[in-house]
Chains A and B, each alone.
Chain A
Amino acid sequence: MRFLPHTNQDIESMLKIAGASSLDSLFDSIPKDLKTKDGLDLPEPLSEWELDSHMEALASLNIACKNYKCFIGAGSYDHYIPAHIPYLISRSEFMTAYTPYQPEVSQGTLQGIYEFQTMITELLGMDITTASHYDCGTALAEASLIALRKNRKANKIAVSALVHPSHRQIINTYIRPTGYEIIEIPYTADGVTDLTALEKIDDIAGVAIQSPNFFGNIEDLSAFRTAADAKKIMFIVSFTEALAYGLLKNPGSFGADLVAGEGQSLGISKSFGGPGLGLLAGNKKQMRNLPGRYVGKTKDTNGKDGYVLTLATREQHIRREKASSNICSNNGLNAMTAAMYLATVGKIGIREIAQQNHDKAVYLKTSLEQAGFKPAFKTPFFNEFVVKVPDGFDQKRTALIEDKCIFAGTDLEPFYPELKQHYLFCATEKVSKDDIDQMVKEVQ
């Protein structure tokens, strides 16, 4: 086996030093009745090239093996990834290192994550951000727990019905055992969270609003901040499309206390939904409440700048049962990828890419409208929107995937049973006018 270096001679001489007569006798401390009798019933090992064929055969069962046209988003977005990003992130010094517990030989990871923290706080307009979380849903669950723990009187949190359906489920999974509850805020006919409904909900520790919301619509965050202030509760903002903040006013400018987001759009492949990149940011007051790692700047014994993991006293390996969370490994390599992406696009690129996403989505919506699709809402959106489709659309959509590898929207009915024949469409900078024209022609 090419990963195992030991020759028979090595084994023999090492056993001698170890004081064991055979490899099997190394396990004599395990009582016989605890050892398995069956061995491992697994497929015979594959050579590297047999593995290639096997994996390519599996990959070819996914439609993604073809160069498909993606008009779906809903939490996972098809953006262009410049060639140098996968090239750089594959450098084994980044990829095969562990968590930077020994800072003197981890300055690459540490400076990289410090720069990541800087760029994410700039993107979101927030004071601080952690070194990453698993995904937006888990980050939002942690943010909800922070709000609930802070407010000792209320054991409920208000969450917009237009927060990604999976994220609402994750919050539920996280908070249920400790007796907390979610109150869902309904949405209005404009496809935004119902502010007046929120105003009527009492005894809550916080409110979570996604913007752009699951329908792609931009929420009036300023009004929700005011409502949260009136109730003296935490205001949490979430998002699934990080590039929106290349164009939109950021959550910090509306006074968000906590922000939970998904950073997959920042140079990370869709990879069937994971690993993505959980972003978790807060204002200064939340510094000691946010879970997970931070990188901080400091000096070495010669007075030279350097970086270390810091504020670890909040974390599980020090605080154990009193830690702010159980998180240990986060999504560090994807945070580094996002940093590379943000450094690549820069101030000019992020604005232009965001604008192009919006332009393409507006063109797509207008084209669908001309083809007889009915827009569901009139609210401003970023790169996703909802339309009501004509009868027979579903069959056309399936045929279009099978014949031309074009994905025309996501059916909303499984998530919102009241929205029959409503589809969520997305357009990114990757689709051309011709792609859009072709898709619309096929489905009309």
Chain B
Amino acid sequence: MDQRPGTSGLIFNEPQLWDKSRKGRCGISLPRSDVERSEMDSSLTGDAPDLPQLCEMDVVRHYTRLSQWNFGVDSGMYPLGSCTMKYNPKTNEVQAARQGLAGAHPLSGDQFSQGALKLMYNLEQFLAQITGFDAVTLQPAAGAHGELAGMLMIHAYHAKNGRQRSKIIIPDTAHGTNPASASLCGYESVNIKSGPDGILEPSAVSAVMDEDTAGIMVTNPNTLGLFESNIKEIAQIVHAKGGLVYGDGANMNAIMGIVKPGEIGIDVLHLNLHKTFSTPHGGGGPGSGPVGVVKALEPFLPVPRVEKNLDTYAFVNDCPDSIGRLHTFYGHFGIMIRAYAYILSMGGKGLTDASKLAVLNANYVKESLKGTLNLPYDKPCMHECVFNDAIQQQNHITTMDMAKRLLDYGFHPPTVYFPLVVDGAFMVEPTETESKEYIDQFIYAVKAIAKEARNTPEKLKNAPVMTKVTRLDEVSAARKPCLRG
């Protein structure tokens, strides 16, 4: 029986907004003005921006149709490696929309914002507990912003110690944001290779670590889905030369309740609330990237910080060693609410179970597809596993072809061509919220596609055929950019 969830159905064409525009329409009910009109000097005013003119239902139908061309976690399995596309609980949205929270003005004053401050304070405490750090800031607006915050703190720490350093060690498995964040602090990246079994070897670190190196950036579990089991020794090597260890916590979903990064030698770590803590990805944000630090780095945290005094909460700006401010107000409060609601829904045991089941799902996929796809690092994995197209290459089929064909079967493809250390990487992260039935359907689809790769490779080369558009010409898009209508 064909188990694929994907099928064809009626979807609608929908033109661009301005093709629907008719002069004289307006989609908002304009209040009657109850004060005198006050004309501004004509030297200051311009023409009204030429926005499309639509009625309310034009707008509603337009965006309803657009939404139907999208694939989300609610549509189906979205096993995008390193992105942790887990279910986004709907109660989180209800909590974030409460008038007392969504309606709060950021400059209402501490006295009138105790609910918001208390939520932020509690969330910092929860995240400190989960990561094993002494202090947490919620201010960074996304994971990469958290990395920047962390690197700025490392930079400030060395400056405070009286001697700035010039380099930072980054393994070849790192996310691209790591070297880019380090560059923003003026650090030159020293790239090192992971060992033959996919993890960092202490000798590779000690070979480059010196007193001109600010530290190392490590993702643990790494982007091959493997736990960096030498992390403690690596941290010792880095610490011995006065460096600091930055942890990229993008993959924290594998180890909640199992490992606390603050206990294993990591000095500073960012989290992605939109990965591990179930807040929606929103088609590319807004996310939130809190950062946890050990005691020695606490003075450098961004301002304002949240403090509790008896039962009263307050923002504190008086932190002379702080790296300063990173966001106009306090960060993405709306996202913090959702993560806070998630942690309260799950509890400590629930979060630990989530990590265990995320790892179970990944190992189940790995063992089930091993042989169908090539598995470059054949060992137990954490929350994700990385295959490649070495077997399918014999039929001139690439990872991209398989990814596009998966769309026809009704699945979002895994992350492809990352990490860079695996040629043609096909990186699957099922997350804990996918059931055995959904995962079995995915496994079935990949096996069916592998069979097609051998027997009817043109089906993969032409894929996708069930989507609203077929493969798009990305080369022309970049060569002759058309960025507005």
Is there contact, CB below 8 Å, between A247 and B282?
A: no
List which A254-308 residues lie within 8 A (CB) of chain B: 262, 269-276, 287, 293-302, 304, 306-308
Report the separation of the CA atoms of residues A83 and B467 in the bound assembly, to the nearest whole angstrom.
31
Chain B hits for A249, CB < 8 A: 44-46
Q: Mark A375-404, 1 if CB is under 8 A from B, else 0.
A: 000001000000000000000000001000
Report the separation of the CA atoms of residues A49 and B393 in the bound assembly, to the nearest whole angstrom.
53
Is there contact, CB below 8 Å, between A347 and B282?
A: no
Let me know if A330 is at the binding interface, CB within 8 A: yes
Chain B hits for A24, CB < 8 A: 356
Is there contact, CB below 8 Å, between A321 and B152?
A: no
Q: Mark B324-337, 1 if CB is under 8 A from A, else 0.
A: 11111111111101
Let me know if A248 is at the binding interface, CB within 8 A: yes
Chain A hits for B257, CB < 8 A: 36, 39-40
Let me know if A186 is at the binding interface, CB within 8 A: no
Is there contact, CB below 8 Å, between B347 and A98?
A: no
> Within the complex, which residue of B26, B155, B329, B353 is in contact with A345, where a contact is CB–CB below 8 Å?
B26
Chain A hits for B51, CB < 8 A: 119, 122-123, 342-343, 345-347, 350
Is there contact, CB below 8 Å, between A134 and B259?
A: no
Let me know if B203 is at the binding interface, CB within 8 A: no
B198 to chain A, nearest CB (A): 11
Chain B hits for A401, CB < 8 A: 109, 112
List which B224-259 residues lie within 8 A (CB) of chain A: 226-227, 229, 231-232, 255-259
Is there contact, CB below 8 Å, between B176 and A295?
A: no
Report the separation of the CA atoms of residues A206 and B74 in the bound assembly, to the nearest whole angstrom.
46
Let me know if A155 is at the binding interface, CB within 8 A: no
Report the separation of the CA atoms of residues A398 and B49 in the bound assembly, to the nearest whole angstrom.
40
Q: Mark B441-474, 1 if CB is under 8 A from A, else 0.
A: 0000000000000000000000010011111111
> Within the complex, which residue of A74, A170, A250 is in contact with B327, where a contact is CB–CB below 8 Å?
A170
Complex: chain A residue closest to B485, CB-CB: A118
Let me know if B476 is at the binding interface, CB within 8 A: yes
Complex: chain B residue closest to A326, CB-CB: B180
Is there contact, CB below 8 Å, between A29 and B380?
A: yes
Complex: chain A residue closest to B38, CB-CB: A362
> Within the complex, which residue of B14, B53, B155 is in contact with A177, where a contact is CB–CB below 8 Å?
B155
Chain A hits for B105, CB < 8 A: 64, 70, 72, 76, 78, 270, 272, 407
B122 to chain A, nearest CB (A): 9
Let me know if B68 is at the binding interface, CB within 8 A: yes
Given contacts A74-B107, A115-B17, A302-B470, contact A344 B433 (CB under 8 A): no
Let me know if A103 is at the binding interface, CB within 8 A: yes
Report the separation of the CA atoms of residues A17 and B368 in the bound assembly, to the nearest whole angstrom.
7
B478 to chain A, nearest CB (A): 5
Let me know if B28 is at the binding interface, CB within 8 A: yes
Chain A hits for B44, CB < 8 A: 218, 248-249, 380
Chain B hits for A443, CB < 8 A: none
Q: Mark A297-323, 1 if CB is under 8 A from B, else 0.
A: 111111010111011110111111111
Chain A hits for B67, CB < 8 A: 88, 91, 93-94, 108
Report the separation of the CA atoms of residues A348 and B48 in the bound assembly, to the nearest whole angstrom.
8
Is there contact, CB below 8 Å, between A272 and B472?
A: no
Let me know if A421 is at the binding interface, CB within 8 A: no
B210 to chain A, nearest CB (A): 19
> Within the complex, which residue of A114, A128, A275 is in contact with B332, where a contact is CB–CB below 8 Å?
A275
Given contacts A40-B257, A176-B324, A433-B34, contact A329 B286 (CB under 8 A): yes
The residue among A86, A329, A330, A355 with the most chain B CB atoms within 10 A of its own CB is A329
Is there contact, CB below 8 Å, between A112 and B63?
A: yes
Chain B hits for A46, CB < 8 A: 344-345, 347
Report the separation of the CA atoms of residues A65 and B98 in the bound assembly, to the nearest whole angstrom.
8
Chain B contact patch, size range: 35 or more
Report the separation of the CA atoms of residues A401 and B404 in the bound assembly, to the nearest whole angstrom.
57
List which B334-358 residues lie within 8 A (CB) of chain A: 334-335, 337, 341, 343-354, 356-357
List which B423-449 residues lie within 8 A (CB) of chain A: 432-436
Chain A hits for B113, CB < 8 A: 62-64, 272
Is there contact, CB below 8 Å, between B229 and A350?
A: no
Is there contact, CB below 8 Å, between B72 and A43?
A: no
Is there contact, CB below 8 Å, between B147 and A326?
A: yes
Q: Mark B248-277, 1 if CB is under 8 A from A, else 0.
A: 000000011111100110000000001000
Let me know if A106 is at the binding interface, CB within 8 A: yes
Report the separation of the CA atoms of residues A434 and B32 in the bound assembly, to the nearest whole angstrom.
13
> Within the complex, which residue of B45, B179, B264, B474 is in contact with A248, where a contact is CB–CB below 8 Å?
B45
A28 to chain B, nearest CB (A): 7
Let me know if A82 is at the binding interface, CB within 8 A: yes
Is there contact, CB below 8 Å, between A321 and B326?
A: no
Let me know if A235 is at the binding interface, CB within 8 A: no
Q: Mark B190-205, 1 if CB is under 8 A from A, else 0.
A: 0000000000000000
Given contacts A58-B119, A64-B100, contact A4 B433 (CB under 8 A): yes
Is there contact, CB below 8 Å, between B70 and A94?
A: yes
Let me know if A131 is at the binding interface, CB within 8 A: yes
Chain A hits for B36, CB < 8 A: 359, 363
Chain A hits for B324, CB < 8 A: 169-170, 172-173, 176
Chain B hits for A13, CB < 8 A: 436
Complex: chain A residue closest to B87, CB-CB: A3
Chain A hits for B74, CB < 8 A: 92-93, 96
Is there contact, CB below 8 Å, between A76 and B107?
A: yes
Is there contact, CB below 8 Å, between A104 and B144?
A: no
Chain B hits for A134, CB < 8 A: 141-142, 145, 286, 327
Let me know if A332 is at the binding interface, CB within 8 A: yes
> Within the complex, which residue of B30, B156, B328, B359 is in contact with A167, where a contact is CB–CB below 8 Å?
B328
Given contacts A94-B72, A170-B327, A348-B53, contact A329 B132 (CB under 8 A): no
Given contacts A17-B367, A432-B34, contact A61 B115 (CB under 8 A): yes
Given contacts A3-B89, A300-B470, A343-B51, contact A326 B177 (CB under 8 A): yes
Is there contact, CB below 8 Å, between A93 and B70?
A: yes
List which B19-59 residues lie within 8 A (CB) of chain A: 21, 24-31, 33-38, 40-41, 44-46, 48-54, 56, 59
Is there contact, CB below 8 Å, between B64 and A88?
A: yes
> Within the complex, which residue of B31, B344, B366, B477 is in contact with A51, where a contact is CB–CB below 8 Å?
B344
Let me know if A334 is at the binding interface, CB within 8 A: yes
Report the separation of the CA atoms of residues A439 and B433 in the bound assembly, to the nearest whole angstrom.
51
Q: Mark A40-55, 1 if CB is under 8 A from B, else 0.
A: 1111111010011011
> Within the complex, which residue of B101, B329, B379, B473 is in contact with A29, where a contact is CB–CB below 8 Å?
B379
Report the separation of the CA atoms of residues A273 and B304 in the bound assembly, to the nearest whole angstrom.
13
Given contacts A51-B345, A112-B63, contact A18 B364 (CB under 8 A): yes
Chain A hits for B152, CB < 8 A: 173, 177
Report the separation of the CA atoms of residues A401 and B482 in the bound assembly, to the nearest whole angstrom.
50
B303 to chain A, nearest CB (A): 8
Is there contact, CB below 8 Å, between B70 and A344?
A: no
> Within the complex, which residue of A5, A39, A167 is in contact with B352, where a contact is CB–CB below 8 Å?
A39
Let me know if B103 is at the binding interface, CB within 8 A: yes
Complex: chain B residue closest to A136, CB-CB: B328
> Within the complex, which residue of B85, B115, B155, B347 is in contact with A59, where a contact is CB–CB below 8 Å?
B115
Is there contact, CB below 8 Å, between A94 and B348?
A: no
Given contacts A311-B481, A345-B27, contact A316 B144 (CB under 8 A): yes
| 11 CB < 8 A contacts A-B | A17-B364, A93-B67, A95-B280, A103-B474, A105-B464, A109-B70, A247-B45, A299-B472, A299-B476, A326-B148, A331-B286
A-B contact sample (11 more), CB < 8 A, given A64-B101, A172-B325, A344-B56: A11-B360, A20-B363, A61-B115, A64-B112, A95-B282, A108-B68, A170-B326, A340-B63, A358-B40, A380-B40, A407-B105
- 10 closest A-B pairs by CB: A273-B329, A59-B100, A333-B282, A273-B106, A65-B100, A45-B347, A40-B348, A61-B115, A332-B284, A96-B72
